[in-house]
Amino acid sequence: MNSTTALALIVLAAVGATGLVVGLITWLLTRRALVNRIGDANVLEVGQKLIDVLATAGLVVDSSNTVIRSSASATTMGLVRNKSLAVAELVDVVDTVRRFGEPVFVELEIPSPGGGDDHWVETRAALAGNGNVVVLLEDKTESHRLDDARRDFLANISHELKTPIGAIGLLAEALVDATDDPETVRKFSKNLRKEALRLGALVQDIIQLSRVQSKDVLGAAQPVDVSAIVHEAAERCVILAESKDITITVNPLPDVLVVGDPELLTVAVKNLIENGIKYSDDGKHVGVGVTTSKNNVKISVADLGVGIPKDEQKRIFERFYRVDSSRSRQTGGTGLGLSLVKHIVFSHGGEITLFSKPKVGSTFTITLPRFEPAQDGETA
């Protein structure tokens, strides 16, 4: 090969390589133009699909803060109205993301759209190109409520435990000083026993309440004979009833089943009978009856006791709530009995209602779903 031929080959190669590169760039540019043309729509479509499948609420705002994509839950949470961010705190978050170009992760307290308690919303926001900002929101209101309830419960428990523990300490000290006086020793010992019993009852109710709250009751449920639990519950109250000369009448019981935990259901009925006795004067009467309908079983406990004023009737199911603290303490009440009943009944898919009139009496009714075993030949 001479030098002219070599030069010609080099020029040809150079022309060929340049063509290849130019072609590539042109192709890339065309593709980019194409991507630019259809990209935004596609990205938004994919974004909407992603938002739709997210467990959390989500939205995308453009550079003028118009909401261009949002999940239905973002609207129900009151965060989006007429394609705008309806909450000032959220506008601040989006502005901060734009100003600093960094993702923001913050928990916001947002007024409820229905005017109820504020919502707590865990918020993550980040730039998504073209001045758009993606915001993901998770409603933490329920977990805040549970945290508050747990805090209140712990504060209440410590307070409730301190009272009998303090009393036991004082009585023990007084006993030491009264060793020479048998009458005083007898009196203090009696009080000591009362406080110890109260402490025991409190601890037992706390354990039972936390058991029923943490347990998947229906996970280990079985068919339960209602008449057996009512008889057992009444049986457990006999000593208390005798101490006050109160009769417990159990009306004839139908043969009927519910599904659940027999021990917990017995505790629920027992607590109602016990209250009927505790909040009645001596010599009165407590009645227990069961009625059935096609789908439900109703267990009613009626007393002729002190009754409960209308405005207190909702609150008595709260933990540690007592209408008359001194009477409850006097009867060894823990303030947890009805709260336990409510939790047991709810965890069995039932409900509890109350009819009461001061100085006339009270009737508590537990309604539970009825269980019908499959007949021969039927599949369950």
- Residues binding ligand ADP (CB under 6 A): 275-276, 279, 303, 305-308, 316, 321-324, 328, 333-339, 362
CA distance 59 to 123: 11
CB of 279 to ligand ADP, least distance (A): 3
Q: Which residues contact 319 (CB under 8 A, 6 or more apart)?
A: 153, 156, 209, 335, 336, 339
| CA neighbours closer than 13 Å in the CB half-sphere of residue 368 | 31
Rounded Cα gap, residues 261 and 264, in angstroms? 6
Q: How far is the CB of 169 from ligand ADP (least distance, A)?
A: 23
Q: How far is the CB of 287 from ligand ADP (least distance, A)?
A: 12
Q: CB 298 → ligand ADP: shortest distance, Å?
A: 17
Beta bridge partners of 301: 288, 364
What distance in Å separates the CA atoms of residue 277 and residue 124, rounded to the nearest whole number? 56
* Amino acid (one-letter) located at 228: A
- Closer by beta carbon to ligand ADP, 58 or else 305: 305
**Best CA proximity match to 106, nearest among 118, 117, 122:** 122
DSSP state of 66: B
User: Least distance (Å) from ligand ADP to the CB of residue 309?
Assistant: 10
Closer of 68 and 161 to ligand ADP (Cβ): 161
The residue type found at 258 is: V
Between 93 and 338, CB nearer to ligand ADP: 338
| Structure tokens belonging to residue 302 | 């009626």
Task: CB nearer to ligand ADP: give 132 or 328.
Answer: 328
Q: How far apart are CA 96 and CA 88, in angstroms?
A: 12
Looking at the Cβ atoms of 98 and 322, the one nearer to ligand ADP is 322
- Pick the closer one to ligand ADP by CB: 362 or 367: 362
Minimum distance from residue 281 beta carbon to ligand ADP (Å):
11
